Chains A and B, each alone.
Chain A
Amino acid sequence: MAQTQLIILMTSAALIIIGFYSAIFVDNIIKKIIGISFIEEGVNLFIVAIGYKAGGIVPILMPDMNTTWFASNAAYPLPFGLVLTSIVIGASTLAVMLALVMVIYKKYGTLSTKVMLADTSKQEEYNE
């Protein structure tokens, strides 16, 4: 059903918009990072939705299958491969971000973005 695809696309759009919202308006850095990773998940969901085929079969060619029938019925496998790679990258990015947050939290003792990631150029410029 094309309706399924439409619902998935709507969900991914909602995830991306929630991500943008939290990027601007949420102050807690952990929540902000969770929100931003929503953007990534939304995009992944979108790419999965591209490969959707109503009533399609798993794109693995078994020995007893007719090739022509397989080609017209299998789902498109390329987006799934891409999404798998993209999820791995997203996970590693998230890990690095949270590790940096841990280090910075030890320095400031707070998770507020306004304090942790404020403008630092003035403070260090002329320290005597």
Chain B
Amino acid sequence: MKLYDQIFNVVKQFRKLFSPGPVTNADVSGSITAEIFLIVSLVLSAILLRHVNMLLAGIVTFILAIVLISNIPLIPKFKLEQEDSLEKMLFYAIITISILVAFLYWGGNLV
């Protein structure tokens, strides 16, 4: 029953996503779909690491699955990070360029 309660709480928390205004059936079912889609697709793309190392892929997939499932609801957090304010956008853009340059400079020949 614990998982059931957890999922029920998730649905309650979706209300905040649509906070001014009512929450309709279609919106909640869409958010649950998004939640499941996010977990499954992230875990699935973690399996792609098997082309680098089999053991690494197993460990990463397992840990990622546990972390993601125990942290539901993910969608409110994701949506908060991808909002429209310029600060967040600039922050992520500059983080991306830094990681990209650092990764290619030191690790570009490893692949």
Contacts and interface: CB of A to CB of B under 8 A. Distances in A.
Nearest to A121: B84
Interface stretch (B5-13, B43-51, B86-94, B102-110): B86-94
Given A125-B20, A125-B21, A24 B94 contact: yes
A29 to B, nearest CB: 9
Contacts, number: 28
Given A20-B94, A23-B94, A24-B94, A117 B20 contact: no
A113 B87 contact: yes
Interface residues of A, number: 13
A113 B20 CA distance: 24
Nearest to B86: A117
Size band of the interface chain B makes with A: 10 to 19
* Chain A contact surface mostly: helix
Interface in A69-128: 113-114, 117-122, 125-126
A117 B21 contact: no
B20 A119 contact: no
Contacts of B90: 23-24
Contacts of A114: 85, 87
Interface of A: 20, 23-24, 113-114, 117-122, 125-126
15 contacts: A23-B90, A23-B94, A24-B90, A24-B94, A113-B87, A114-B85, A114-B87, A117-B85, A117-B86, A118-B84, A118-B85, A121-B83, A122-B19, A126-B20, A126-B21
